[in-house]
Structure 1
Amino acid sequence: MTALIPTDADDPALLQPALRHALEGGPALGFGMLADTPGSVPDGVAIVIATSGSSGIPKRVALSAEALRASAEATATRIGSGRWLLALPAGYVAGLQVLVRSILAGTEPATLGGRFSPDAFAEATLGMLRPASGSQSTGVPDLFTSLVPAQVATLLDAAADDAAVRAALRAYRAILVGGQALAEPLRERAADLGVHLVRTYGSTETSGGCVYDGVPLDVAAVRVSDGELRIAGPMLAEGYLDDEALTARTFVRDEHGIRWYRTGDLGLVDDGVVRVHGRADNVIVSGGINISLDRVERVVRTIPGLHQAVVVGVDDDRWGEASVIVAPRGEALRRSEAEQLSHARDAVAEALGRHARPTRLILVDELQTLPSGKPDREAVRRVVAGLR
């Protein structure tokens, strides 16, 4: 057994030596640990991350050093190696992997000064482009970072009027974007600005993103079983700490003994390209018809002014359940609220059918988010339910 040390991820400078030690077989590090977390883990486990994922049920994902390395090395093979900016919490797998990749590349990651903001992002990026004090090198390193879509939207909005933010965004060889689906209008805005975004798909259980722009990393395999996406490869987690039943349900072996992670996501693999349709459990039954809220949300996010919208399900007296759009009012709307809802309903009806149309549009000052930067869907759903 290996000792498990609860770890504060707030200071990356202090975290890095401990993480390097964990990758080399030293004490494992625990992020977001619960009160009943044991003091030791099986040998080989390097990291334990407490996450509620999409289900809202707390889980403790155990990751081995081998899995973290396999993911980081496959990322370097796909997009290259260089210097990384840590712009996400290190206690979440996307932020943690920035540190792992830096350790394996022998580079020092840059960090933001204070909270995430366009100014902090631009300043940190500019600092990465300057030669280190005493360095004889005059070359500019390849720059990389990982962001969530809300951060990308904030930066693109600022870049419209701020040359420093524009230059910072363009300085990156690749910006990995994950945590939730990247709206197509955001990707198009970035491309028009000369910013290279890479859409990633994965989870804590896969040591972070393992599918880049729809194509699995070289070490990853993706297949579909009963409509559900399943992933195999050396980057899979060992399982869930002290939860053998959940581990057995989630990580299954096929007839050849290959271990697969059941993602809980619906999708397909079309000519080698992975297409994610949404969570199998993020479905409502409205008027007796199953409706994927993820698919509704993807359509809604193609509409100007609704690129950061969240679609949630609520009880409905007429239909049993119905979908509601919640969006930040700060985005510029060229239409009235009623016209915007009508536009969204028409777009959803055309793409998915009239039965899938959202019933309401609620504008809020700010969408509630998790520390990882993802929308806090449960909190948004509670707010909407409280307004009925």
Structure 2
Amino acid sequence: MPRPLVATGTSDPSAVLRGLEAALGGGPALLPVAEGAPALPTPPPAEVRQAVALVVETSGSTGTGKRVALSSEALLAGAAAADAALGGPGRWVLALPTHYIAGLNVLTRSITAGTDPVVVAPGHFAARAFTDAADRLVTGPAAPRRYTSLVPVQLARVLDDPDATRALARFDAVLVGGQATPAPLRQRAADAGVRIVTTYGASETSGGCVYDGTPFGTVRTALVDGELQLAGPMLAEGYLGDDDRTAATFVERDGLRWYRTGDAARLTDGVVQVLGRLDDVVISGGEKVQLGAVERIVRGMPGQEAAVVTRRTAGEWGEVPVVVTEQPLDLDTVRSVVGDALGRAARPAEVVLVERLPALASGKPDRLAVRALVDPGR
């Protein structure tokens, strides 16, 4: 029989926590909704299949909207495997929105540990608010460890504040995902005694399922025509109301169900290195340029941990890379560094300095808005 789908506003994380706890226990399925966010073109259904416990809406930073349907089994399998990978259950500081899978993961792991997360004060993320939340975190015998999950821009803000940095260094693990974490930022954290665990995953995989490049639990990886594919018990049921997209994204092979990530990657002795989106390639002067590779080089330069590399149409060149950043960056310098690493065609054509980079509520760059800044007539 079908199961009711209940939409819950995410301005009150405790309401989302209660709704998720009920859903995991067999109650109505939960649809967390960010108040004030643009709605998807079609309204959600009133009911879902019995297997569905959680529906995550995502417009993504570059793609079209979708509703990812997740079962209790997938969510709990991901949580159990993550706890095992991290060293056991703990108590969490929640610093991410709860309509995104990373924030929902914090709630799921809190539920399985029998704890309530400590919530960072709402509003624009600030290091002081994180410090206050960390100071309120008290562990117990059943969940003795201290965890939090951040996106790179949040980590950078914490590391810019001495008090917040000291608070973060007390955590047993700090998950950092949502976008590539620049090597200089990871080094800053390590130098401050902060244990960073870089994560990779998606709503379709119940969140992060690859830690520091290594799949956890029974997660399996494969490369098919250069595309990273993932299999395991944490996979979503599919997309609500979109059977065609479900069939195209979740495929059967070798007796397993695989999720096609759309990401290019390398696999070396079981370790995953994600290179960027397969469709994030520009043809510049007749040569293919992977924007993700350019962005990794740029983010490795001092002060450019949050920089974004986008594309701009350029007449006879086709398209060219453009750097958008909040910190001054000399064009000749970045062209030299990128050119030495990736070749002449990969050199950025321009550096666009902005006061604040457009961002989604998750903290990830809003890449559609960033591109509109440099290529408004596309």
- Corresponding position of 2:15: 14
**3-state SS of the aligned residue for 2:364?**
coil
- Corresponding position of 1:244: 243
Higher mean C-alpha deviation, range 95-104 or range 302-311? 302-311
Contact 1:25-1:44 within 8 A present in 2 as well: no
- Corresponding position of 2:47: 40
**Deviation, structure 1 residue 139:** 11
Q: Deviations over 1:4-39 (max 9, x none)?
A: 111112212222221111001110011346442111
**3-state SS of the aligned residue for 1:253?**
strand
Task: In structure 1, list runs of 5 or more residues that go unmatched.
Answer: 132-136
- Corresponding position of 2:176: 177
**3-state SS of the aligned residue for 2:375?**
helix
**3-state SS of the aligned residue for 1:264?**
strand
The reply to whether residue 114 of structure 1 matches residue 122 of structure 2 is yes
**Deviation, structure 1 residue 141:** 3.3
1:142 and 1:213 mapped to 2: Cα distance? 19
Contact 2:292-2:309 within 8 A present in 1 as well: yes
2:267 and 2:181 mapped to 1: Cα distance? 18
- Corresponding position of 1:99: 107
- Which aligned pairs between 1:247-262 and structure 2 lie closer than 5 A? 247-254=246-253, 256-262=254-260
Residues 138 and 211 of structure 1: CA distance in aligned 2, closer, same or farther (over 3 Å): closer
Q: What code does the residue aligned with 1:45 have?
A: V
Q: What code does the residue aligned with 1:375 have?
A: P
- Corresponding position of 2:325: 327
Contact 1:70-1:219 within 8 A present in 2 as well: no
| TM-score, scaled to structure 1 | 0.92
1:76 and 1:68 mapped to 2: Cα distance? 12
The reply to whether residue 142 of structure 1 matches residue 142 of structure 2 is no
- Corresponding position of 2:194: 195
The correspondence for 1:77, drawn from 67, 75, 84, is 84
Q: Deviations over 1:239-294 (max 9, x none)?
A: 0001000000000001x321000000001210010011110011111111111100
- Corresponding position of 1:271: 269
**3-state SS of the aligned residue for 2:255?**
coil
Instruction: Name the % identity.
Output: 50
1:219 and 1:10 mapped to 2: Cα distance? 35
**3-state SS of the aligned residue for 2:10?**
coil
The reply to whether residue 154 of structure 1 matches residue 152 of structure 2 is no
The reply to whether residue 90 of structure 1 matches residue 108 of structure 2 is no
Residues 253 and 140 of structure 1: CA distance in aligned 2, closer, same or farther (over 3 Å): closer
The correspondence for 2:296, drawn from 295, 298, 309, is 298
Count of paired positions? 369
| TM-score, scaled to structure 2 | 0.94
Q: Deviations over 1:190-242 (max 9, x none)?
A: 00110111000000000000000000011211110000000000000000001
1:374 and 1:138 mapped to 2: Cα distance? 35
Q: Deviations over 1:34-66 (max 9, x none)?
A: 442111111110011111225420011000010
- Corresponding position of 1:375: 365
1:29 and 1:387 mapped to 2: Cα distance? 40
Moved over 3 A (4+): 32-35, 137-141
1:138 and 1:357 mapped to 2: Cα distance? 54
